[in-house]
Amino acid sequence: MLRTFLCIITAFFTITVNAQTITIPAYTGYAVPAEKDESSMFSEKNGVQNWTDTKQHLTYFFYIRKAGDLTIGLNTKNTTAGTTLKLSVAGKDLLLNVPSSKTSKMIKAGSVTIKDSGFYSITISAVKKAGNTIADIQSIQLSGTATADIHFNPKERRNAASVHLRYPLPDSVKAVAFYNEITIPAGADIVHSYYMACGFARGYFGIQVNSETERRVIFSVWDAGNEAVDRNKVADSNKVQLMAKGIDVFADGFGNEGTGGHSHWIYPWKTGQTYKLMVTALPDSATQTTTYTGYFFIPELQKWKLIACFRAPHDGSTLHNLYSFNENFVGLNGQLQRKAFFGNQWVQKENGQWKELTQSTFSYDATGKAGDRIDYGGGVADGKFYLWNGGFQNASAKYGDVFNRSATTQRPTIDWTKNADSAKQAEQDQQMIFAAVKNKQIDTTGSKDGVYYHILKEGTGEYVSVNDTVTVFYKGTLLKDGSIFDQTKDKPAVFPLKRLIKGWQIAVPMCKVGGKIRIIIPSGLGYTIRSRSKAIPPNSVLVFDIEVLSTKK
């Protein structure tokens, strides 16, 4: 008898514990179609409000770990009687009539049976609308044995967790370039997605979906210091400096997630297409700065495009802390799954040699660490790393998981002469040169094949040949500001002329041995879009004063 009584008590206690009541805040749901303004329908204070479109439904997601009964209710109100809602869950539709009330009331909709563990959703739609709004909803109430250890996101932030791949790099490798390829599969080009390929300790570089009609290539570098919100509060000595940008690239500052220099180029990238991105770094230990430059390869043109070049203060380091990520940066559609493939990662060392990166480590942001969102994953497929986040699917990776892909041995081939902006940049360079001549900043005797020159002193020897090795004194300055980027001092320099930039090969043969010549070289005949040195930004018009001492055939 006592044993039977104890069994009854134990069973009652188990049912009581398992049959807990769970309250899911209404502000954690999603509207489909999504609301235009993130604060217009969902808020922590008011739950769901301003729901007026009967073609728009609301969806709430949760993870059930134990099969059983699930009873659903809504804490809702409407000042006008007559609204009927349909709640769809686990293949069953439940109808709920919303009575007239000025305050929210809990109304039971009905029960369903959950047969297995996994992600489930409740979709709320309007069968009948009464009044100006469909209904205001404060929360969803769940009870029954299926609520045991149930999981849902309790936070107002409805973004999917950001997920990362981190590429380990030995301290002995001083990387001056980081190359990565990214492919977004069909259906993953969801608005408010940022797929970042080339991340490093000081910045990030990737592609973004900003709206139904606009996509961007984005390159940003963080300021020094600790200001997280307002760039106006950052001292000039801590701000990154824009050194150059590509044609039609927008560049400005950013805040609210740290501060720094931002650049983006509007470009209609497509799913299924692989895009190549590369970041270079030119550290200067003397000034404790590093010049970072982002390049994007346009497959339609088979040419590289300069996005932007920033000089970062309080740095002086090569590239390190390399990573990629998927980010859902607005919470309107955090229920949708985002996915990206990352392949053929390489770094270039200071000595010019390339090293392939075939290992990555999986991680996620604070939303994942807090356990608010548990729908994420990553791995290796078809020789590429991949990341996914959102979609309320079972996680396929754990924090700290290590992935290894097969080596491709396909070292990047970079041809800087294939510049996507070369024609427009040549026009800009020519306008700059003409303006400098008009302002008497420089003068020219003439031009040859796009290079302008002025004979400063007639020589007495033979004309220089492009096949000669020349012995010269020279000084190089930037036309933009007159700053000296290179010069000989006590001893002359000796160069095989054919190994120098095209501008020298074209113009120096206009001078005789013993003579002096000033040459003005458009960027396309100089260093083009390359970050050649810390003193020569990409797309720089160069001015050289050259004295030819002797030549050797």
pLDDT (tens digit per residue) in 291-341 = 999 999 999 999 999 999 999 999 999 999 999 999 999 999 999 999 999
Do the beta carbons of residue 105 and residue 71 sit within 8 Å?
A: no
- Strand partners for 62: 120
Tokens describing residue 387:
């990341």
**H or E element, residue 72:** strand 68-77
For the chain, the domains span 20-147, 163-404, 422-552
| Cβ within 8 Å of residue 438, ≥6 positions away | none
Q: Quick one: which of 133, 134, 284, 258 has its CA closest to 202?
A: 258
Q: Read off the pLDDT of residues 55-87 as tens digits, 9 standing for 90 and up.
A: 999 999 999 999 999 999 999 999 999 999 999
Q: Can you tell me which residue has the tokens 């002025």? A: 454
Peptide bond into 522 cis (omega under 30): no
Instruction: Give the class (CATH, top level) of 163-404.
Output: mainly beta
The average pLDDT across 129-155 equals: 95
Least Cα distance to 62 among 14, 29, 96 occurs for 29
Instruction: Provide the 8-state DSSP code for 282.
Output: E
Question: What average pLDDT does range 215-227 have in this prediction?
Answer: 96
Q: Are 75 and 106 in contact (CB under 8 A)?
A: yes
Contact status, residue 523 vs residue 539, Cβ threshold 8 Å = yes
- The pLDDT tens digits of the residues spanning 20-36 come to 899 999 999 999 999 98
% pLDDT > 90, the chain: 90
Residue 418: pLDDT band with limits 50, 70, 90:
confident
Q: Over 70: is that where the pLDDT of 5 sits?
A: no
Q: Give kind and range of the element (H or E) at residue 367.
A: helix 366-369
Q: By three-state DSSP, how is residue 305 classified?
A: strand
Q: How far is it, in rounded angstroms, from Cα 141 to Cα 152?
A: 12
CA distances from 139 to 38, 353, 389 (A): 18, 59, 26
Which residues neighbour 207 within 8 Å (Cβ) at sequence distance 6 or greater? 182, 184, 194, 195, 197, 215, 216, 217, 218, 269, 275
Rounded Cα gap, residues 306 and 530, in angstroms: 8
Which pLDDT band holds residue 19 (cuts at 50, 70, 90)? low
Question: Averaged over 145-160, what is the pLDDT?
Answer: 95
- pLDDT-based confidence at residue 531 (cuts at 50, 70, 90): confident
Q: What is the mean pLDDT of residues 160-182?
A: 96
Asked if residue 359 lies in contact with residue 404, where contact means CB atoms within 8 angstroms, the answer is yes
Per-residue pLDDT, 194: 98
d(CA 393, CA 380): 18
What is each CA distance from 512 to 43, 180, 341, 446, 492, in whole angstroms? 77, 47, 57, 16, 17
Please name which of 154, 73, 151 lies closest in space to residue 112, comparing C-alpha atoms.
73
**CATH topology assigned to domain 422-552:** Chitinase A; domain 3 (3.10.50)
Amino acid at position 41, single letter: M
**φ and ψ at residue 294, rounded to 5 degrees:** -110, 130
What whole-number distance in Å separates Cα of residue 207 and Cα of residue 205? Answer: 7
Neighbouring C-beta atoms of residue 494, cutoff 10 Å: 12
Q: What's the confidence (pLDDT) of residue 12?
A: 33
CA distance 73 to 21: 10
Distance CA 189, CA 209 (A): 7
Task: State the sign of the Cα–Cα–Cα–Cα dihedral 153, 154, 160, 162.
Answer: negative
Each residue's pLDDT tens digit, 270-292: 999 999 999 999 999 999 999 99
Judge if 20-147 and 163-404 fold alike in CATH terms.
yes
Mean model confidence pLDDT for the chain? 93
Asked if residue 6 has pLDDT above 80, the reply is no
Instruction: Report domain 20-147's class.
Output: mainly beta
| Alpha helices (H) along 189-304 | none
